[in-house]
Amino acid sequence: MTLSPYPVVKLKPKADARAIRHGAPWVFSDELVLDRRTRALEPGTIAVLADGERQEMALVAITPASRITCRILDRDPAARIDAEWLRRRIATAMAMREHLYDAPFYRLVHAEADGLPGMVIDRFGDTAVVQPNAAWADRLMPEITAVLQEMGIANIVRNGSGRTRSLEGLEEFIRVEAGAVEGPVPVPMNGATYMADLLGGQKTGLFYDQRPNHAFAARLGRGGSVLDVFSHVGGFALAALAQGATEALAVDGSAPALELAEQGARESGLADRFTTRKGDAFDEMTALAEEGRKFDLVVCDPPAFAPGKKSLEAGLRAYERVARLAAGLVAPGGYLVLCSCSHAADLARFRQASTRGIGRGGRLGQLIHTGFAGPDHPMHPQLAESGYLKALFYRLDG
């Protein structure tokens, strides 16, 4: 028998070991025996998880100071977490994406749902942006970089930003780990070309998760005018123009994001029908209403107003306010799309807040479609947080 090279951490006797055996991906601090030895482990240490009977259950990555103390890496306690292990996991994720998409532009790894907890990789052709949001992944970044290069991805960016890293005790920075990245990267999607800033943009530079919702909204916008609020780099607006919208106005608070949207419009040959307004989304929607503006399709895709339970009620009020202001800008018989990326606001609560806001805006309508993230953002069936994105498509009356 070969002794494991990893330390052992133990569940408390009353912890629900069955949930972990049945696929739960996390172990919380109140479920573990956090003795002095366990607390002394470095964040990102690989360990063997044992149940209250000392039976080995899985390999985990441990961060003793985090509420999510252990992330399940492998259900086989005898596995080894090394470059070959990473190669198998990433290759499996890539094979599914290559089956789904004709071009190499997609989310390559979606954290727990792809068996690589706390790590996100977005692919932009021969460039990848890695977000190692968990300490174990950050420690293995050299191996991750090497594996991606073996797979034909020449340029690797480490995006070490975001509040999750601080919870893991990690510093924040963005840097090129391999190859070179110069300027925004063009990304073909839904008939348009988007410009992704991989070194200074939001998240990894582009939101692939909205791809199917961009496409559905674009069908609704054919032959009409479009307002894209919280537009970032023009996600909904450019897709709608590519599918035959007559004009599109993008509103965002970020001048760099709007500049990228304008560059994308030029690259797509759509600049003559595309305009932008920089400013606070709530203020701009109020101003557009005062100007008497109406649009055949209005889309609002705000940042996460409810990133956690503590902000849920305030977030729901913000979503309601968005719906109220946006509803007044929709032409009779037009369409309204409302999005949320807040995992704390589940679909039912978000739909309730949105529908209430539409009513407060003096409008009634039909809910014709509910959209979610694309298949390159798979859900972990036992992790509600992995199904964070919701998009509600309404047709409003006169």
Taking only the tens place, the pLDDT of each residue in 280-322 is 999 999 999 999 999 999 999 999 999 888 999 999 999 999 9
Count the alpha carbons within 13 Å of 231 in the hemisphere toward its beta carbon.
Answer: 37
The amino acid present at 11, given as its one-letter code, is: L
The pLDDT of residue 3: 58
Of the listed 70, 300, 339, 341, which one is catalytic? Answer: 341
Q: Catalytic: 339?
A: no
Let me know if domain 185-396 sits in CATH 3.40.50.150. Answer: yes
Q: Apex CA 216: angle with CA 103 and CA 203, to 5°? A: 60
What does the buried/exposed string (b/e) look like for 23-51 if buried means 16 or more CB atoms within 10 Å of the residue's CB? ebbbbeeebbebeeebeebebbbbbbbbb
CATH number of 8-74: 2.30.130.10
CATH number of 83-178: 3.30.750.80
Q: Domain ranges for the chain, please list them.
A: 8-74, 83-178, 185-396
Predicted model pTM? 0.94
The pLDDT of residue 45: 96
What does the buried/exposed string (b/e) look like for 67-99 if buried means 16 or more CB atoms within 10 Å of the residue's CB? ebbbbbbbeebebebeeebbbebbeebbeebee
The pLDDT of residue 2: 47
222-254 per-position pLDDT tens digit: 999 999 999 999 999 999 999 999 999 999 999
Ramachandran quadrant class, 66 (left: phi over 0; alpha: psi -120 to 50; beta: rest): beta
Spans in the chain with pLDDT lower than 50: 1-2
Asked if 356 and 322 count as a contact pair (C-beta separation under 8 A), the reply is no
State the Cα–Cα distance between residues 112 and 311, nearest whole angstrom. Answer: 24
Domains 8-74 and 83-178 share a fold: no
Q: CB within 8 A of 338, min separation 6: which ones?
A: 300, 319, 322, 323, 326, 354, 391, 392, 394
